[in-house]
Structure 1
Amino acid sequence: MKTALIALYVLTVTAPVWIALLAVPQTDHSFSSEVAKNSGLIGIGVLLMQFVLAARLPLTNRFFGLDSVMVFHRSMGIFALALMLVHPVLLAFGEGNWKLLYGLDQTWYIWAGKTTLLLLLVHILISVFRRSLNLSFERWRVLHNTLAIAIIALALLHSWYAGGDLSAFPMQALWVLLGGVAIAAFVWHRLIRPQRLAAKPYRVEDVRQESPDVWTLRLALPEGEVSEHLPGQFNFLTFPNSAAVPAEEHHFTISSSPTLNGFVESTIKASGDLTSQIGEIQRGETVIVHGDFGRFSYTLQRDESELVFIAGGIGITPLMSMLRHMRDTDDKRRVVILYGNKTEADILFRSELADMQSMQEPILHVEHVLSEPDEKWPGESGHIDGKLLNRLLGGDLMKTGFYICGPAAMTDQVVTALRRQKVPCRNLHTESFSLTEDTAPTSARSVLRKWVTALIVVVAVAVTVIVAEMRTDGNEPSGDGHEHSRSHSESA
């Protein structure tokens, strides 16, 4: 199914070029002009599919995981920008009309294209440098969505009126179809689904303090619903009527087991704008829950005979969900957990982990590692690095599954160390609390995503060039100063 979804994506984003070729097999434009037009067509195809990727569709989450989809979404946005930058430069060169780039005396649809490019550049920059710009997540999301709508509207208008290929009915039908799909995905994601979720809210059953700055929220499910999440997944939570926290949507890991009937729990650290007052949430408040997401779960990897869980700080939460599920389902696999914190007071679920180890439910060995221990600390100290992993693990790790969740620096360090020990990337599973950053570039899903991204870029570029060659068949630049590519409809 993964291969089918990837193939469908490639076919969709390159469809405008193939349809244009079928509609008008030959043109009198130059090769450079055709490459430019194809770049623009595929660029718009990629932009339209961005709405689908961002819509949190169950199908893409099931096979790839929402975090991988969103990192891919970001990469494709940058690729679309590259295609759109190539488009006017090669077009000006191919048509012999450099005024397309700097001239002020242009028709409105040329200005629409220039505005599209400018807005797309701003769109990418604020996404990449959101933290440096001190943009809150909610403010960034509003700006992100507004710009996205403006970009695609201007791009469709520009291509419809400036592109000669759009005078052919098949191309017009394709544009209406792809545009309709993008609009439907956006309306479903931002309007219809939120209303449906709000109609069946969860309720805060309990607020439990785990440490000075960490709280567990127990949420009661709507009447008649059962929890079907996998251990290790996460949800999006919104508190629409709370006096303690803003009504903003944020994602949090599920720390409870799916076996907890009628309830779901999330353990949250008080840190950002929303979470700093998480402990002030009152019992009985309503919560809008959207989930479940992620592929960070041992239940998806049944061929791993032994498991190693590595956590840093609040990164213990998805691993606790897995351990609780293993306990409740009597899973007999052996688990070693390495849990890093600054001080002894920062250790979460310490008593529960100790009980699991003493009862061997599951078959568990726990190692706490403190980076700033006091003099009385009897356990491991320092950081979870290659030396500690070699000393504590050793042996044959080829059939061991590693599940790593914590700060980005720790995750990258641990994955790098394990790869040096020849642990296959397919056995490295990571979770990041960011949906747009790759914190473990050599883990299994990261490697797959990079290969898929590279494949799509190569195929798109190849299609751009090959179709341009097929349509021009060696034509030389006309040099007659055509205005953009609209003249194609007049000469074809």
Structure 2
Amino acid sequence: MFRRLMRTMILLVYLLSPLPAIFIVYKANPPAYQTPKDLLPMVIGAIAYTWLLAELVISARPKFLERFFGLNHFYKFHGSAALVAIVLSFLHKQLEEAIWSSYLQTVRQLGDLALILFLVLAGLSLIFMTDLIIRKINVLHFIRNWLEKKHILDFKYNVWIHNLNVIAIVLVFLHVFYFSAFYRKNFWICGVYTLYFFIAFGSYFYHKVLKIKHAKRHPYTLIQITPESPMIHTFVFKRERGNVPHYKAGQFVFIRMLGAGISEEEHPFSITSNPNDRRYLSVTVKSIGDYTSFIPKVPLGTRAIIEGPYGILGNSVYHTKSDLVLIAGGIGITPMLSILKDLCHRNRKRRVILFWNVPSTKDLISKNVFNYLIEQMPKFTFVPILSREPNNNGESGHLNREKIVRYLSERRFRIKRTHYIICGPSRMMDSAVKTLRGLKVHKKKIHFENFSM
């Protein structure tokens, strides 16, 4: 109830944030906005400007907001709100040009340049950073895969595409500043728009510069690398001063390796260690790109900045004592490892079923951990499902309705009262959610985090 109330209040603050700017601009020169025709462009422009600046605040990943929504919802809202703000910016431009023919040339050029840059970046983001569209258009899917294989489209390029939005937002600020300072020549209009900009840019600067500088004073050291399979490794970090900050099972962190000839861009990884043992923090990584393929070669003793934790995937573990079903696909097992280790420590008699879909037996990592969990948790059921080879001791193919119903019925789980946690590839999660909804499971009992917008 409290979380829902906070979500509502935060969304209201976001939606109403343009009102102070609109009020001050109107009061500064009421005769200029006597008719709706004059007022509408200003209102739309103020909304677009404020919401574009809010994108900088959202991109700073403020924890006091993330814990109420989850970072995956933050990312989706981030993308959707940006598109709405760009559309409003375009509408503002069309209305203003129809009314103000005597626009200052500099003001017009700054606004046009910012809008063009936003449109280009939005198009690139939709094509290359939005799985929802890529999965439905085979041509785009083929193009992105080809670019990734040629290393033309890599994580660092996606980051650069995203960061170029900051330049566009600065151009928008200059556009507004020039208009209010040299055309309207009004201190109050100039002041309110400048205040909004510095609040937003201050959040972004803190996230990109000050927070990193502070984190470097409390670095972590890589103390162990364990090969789980030819392509999967577990990395263990120890904080140089004190214990690892408190985190919950199922959460993830952003890791930035320092030196060692590797990019210092941050990358998100799910935590696999036990949250009850804060001496160490571990993540398990599959080598599927340039960065993840290189980090197994990083020497022990390498320092790292670890920011977090983030995520609300494991909240159902803490907020309910009902039966629990974990559904993992491939490397999506990583948050489940932390969840199971925590359950083994806190409530080892809880009824839990883990479905884990992998291509073959060589992809079944952490076998010693699962053997220990099976031994220590009498009501834990482990169901590995092999999709590319026969499984003489278990299930083959893919997780489907029949397997879910059979295993839950045999163990007398109440399908509609059970909580489900899902992690894995986007298509696998979509399929699992669709199957559970088909079994009349309420959406509030299905928990997943999808970081594709």
Same fold (TM over 0.5): yes
Give SS of 2:319's match.
coil
Q: How does 1:426-445 map to 2 (within 5 A)?
A: 426-432=444-450, 434=451, 437-438=452-453
Residue equivalent to 1:227: 245
Residue equivalent to 1:254: 271
Deviations 1:52-94 (A, max 9, x none): 111121201221122221221111111111101111223344x
Q: How does 1:438-453 map to 2 (within 5 A)?
A: 438=453
Q: TM-score, normalised by structure 2?
A: 0.87
Residue equivalent to 1:130: 128
Change (3 A) 1:11 1:167: farther
Residue equivalent to 1:51: 56
Percent identity between the two aligned chains: 28
Partner of residue 369 from structure 1, selected from 381, 385, 390: 385
How far, CA to CA, are the matches of 1:83 and 1:393 in structure 2?
50
> Per-residue deviation at 1:301?
4.7
How far, CA to CA, are the matches of 1:68 and 1:28 in structure 2?
38
RMSD: 2.3
1:107 aligns with 2:105: yes
1:152 aligns with 2:169: yes
Unaligned runs of at least 5 residues, structure 2: 1-5, 130-143
Largest Rg, 1 or 2: 1
Residue equivalent to 1:476: none
Preserved CA contact (<8 Å) 1:231 1:297: yes
> Per-residue deviation at 1:300?
6.1
Partner of residue 309 from structure 1, selected from 306, 317, 326: 326
Residue equivalent to 2:15: 10
Matched residues, number: 424
Preserved CA contact (<8 Å) 1:206 1:219: yes
Partner of residue 392 from structure 1, selected from 385, 407, 426: 407
1:340 aligns with 2:345: no
> Per-residue deviation at 1:305?
0.8
Change (3 A) 1:301 1:17: farther
Residue equivalent to 1:140: 158
How far, CA to CA, are the matches of 2:18 and 2:75 in structure 1?
17
Preserved CA contact (<8 Å) 2:423 2:429: yes
How far, CA to CA, are the matches of 2:275 and 2:210 in structure 1?
27
Partner of residue 402 from structure 1, selected from 413, 416, 420: 420
Q: How does 1:318-329 map to 2 (within 5 A)?
A: 318-329=335-346
How far, CA to CA, are the matches of 2:63 and 2:269 in structure 1?
18
Residue equivalent to 2:197: 179
How far, CA to CA, are the matches of 1:336 and 1:35 in structure 2?
57
Unaligned runs of at least 5 residues, structure 1: 101-105, 439-492
Preserved CA contact (<8 Å) 2:180 2:190: no
Residue equivalent to 1:117: 115
Give SS of 1:91's match.
helix
Residue equivalent to 1:381: 396
Q: TM-score, normalised by structure 1?
A: 0.80
Change (3 A) 1:300 1:112: farther
The amino acid that maps onto 1:328 is: H
Preserved CA contact (<8 Å) 1:241 1:285: yes
Partner of residue 295 from structure 2, selected from 278, 284, 303: 278
1:292 aligns with 2:309: yes
Q: How does 1:183-262 map to 2 (within 5 A)?
A: 183-243=201-261, 245-262=262-279
How far, CA to CA, are the matches of 1:222 and 1:182 in structure 2?
33
